[in-house]
Amino acid sequence: MSDPEPANLYEAVGGEPTFRRIVARFYQEVARDEILRPLYPEEDLGPAEERFRLFLIQYWGGPHTYSDQRGHPRLRMRHAPFKIGPIERDAWLRAIRIAVDEENLPEPYREQLWAYLEMAAHSMMNSFV
Ligand code: HEM
């Protein structure tokens, strides 16, 4: 018998370990990025890494731990304290691109994940400069 179809992207790409690797790799880039790093209020990036990982897991069909801990995502509101213009958006996209590319996800999942991240990054902008 063949394996059942994965229920969602979260399962299809390998579940929690895959998201853990992507987000950890992303935060390695944040840590050494001179545009992104100063935006993060906490010295320890660990808690921010966990929030982003739990959010993506929930968004793509995994456990709802993010909302259990944080409530409704309200991501635009949560990003309002940080100036996010084209430079910050592009720095963010550069970092997440490295993390996603290194994972070598199968299609169509890679393309679905990337299209979402690109759209979300544009929608998070709150400044023209
Ligand atoms: C939080 C920057 C885009 C998801 C944060 C924080 C910063 C930040 C500085 C606060 C760190 C913390 O949690 O303590 C940026 C920048 C972006 C961007 C510069 C450029 C466009 C995105 C996108 C997503 C996202 C596209 C989702 C796909 C999150 C989540 C949190 C967060 C889930 C934690 C929210 C919470 O529960 O408090 N981001 N972000 N961010 N970001 Fe972004």
pLDDT at 1: 63
For residue 24, tell me if it sits in a domain: yes
Answer yes or no: is 64 a known binding residue.
no
Domain that holds residue 22: 9-123
Q: What is the mean pLDDT of residues 102-106?
A: 98
Task: Quickly list DSSP for 28-95.
Answer: HHHHT-TTTGGG---S--HHHHHHHHHHHHHHTTS--HHHHHH-S--HHHHHTTS---HHHHHHHHHH
76 alpha carbon – ligand 1 mean position (Å) = 9
* Residue 55 placed within a domain: yes
Digit-coded pLDDT (tens) for 9-57: 999 999 999 999 999 999 999 999 999 999 999 999 999 999 999 999 9
The tally of domains found in the chain comes to 1
| 34 domain residue, yes or no | yes
Burial of residue 78, with CB atoms counted within 10 A of its CB: 0-12 exposed, 13-18 middle, 19 or more buried? middle
The C-alpha angle with vertex 83 and arms to 34 and 116, in degrees rounded to 5, equals: 85
Q: Say if residues 95 and 30 touch (Cβ distance below 8 Å).
A: yes
Residue 2 lies in a domain: no
Candidate from 9, 51, 117 with most ligand 1 atoms within 8 A of CB, to mutate: 51
**ipTM score of complex:** 0.97
**What is the 4 CA–ligand 1 centroid distance (Å)?**
34
> Average pLDDT of 77-88?
98
Residue 3 lies in a domain: no
Residue 4 lies in a domain: no
Any domain includes 128: no
Q: How far is the CA of 52 from the centre of ligand 1 (A)?
A: 7
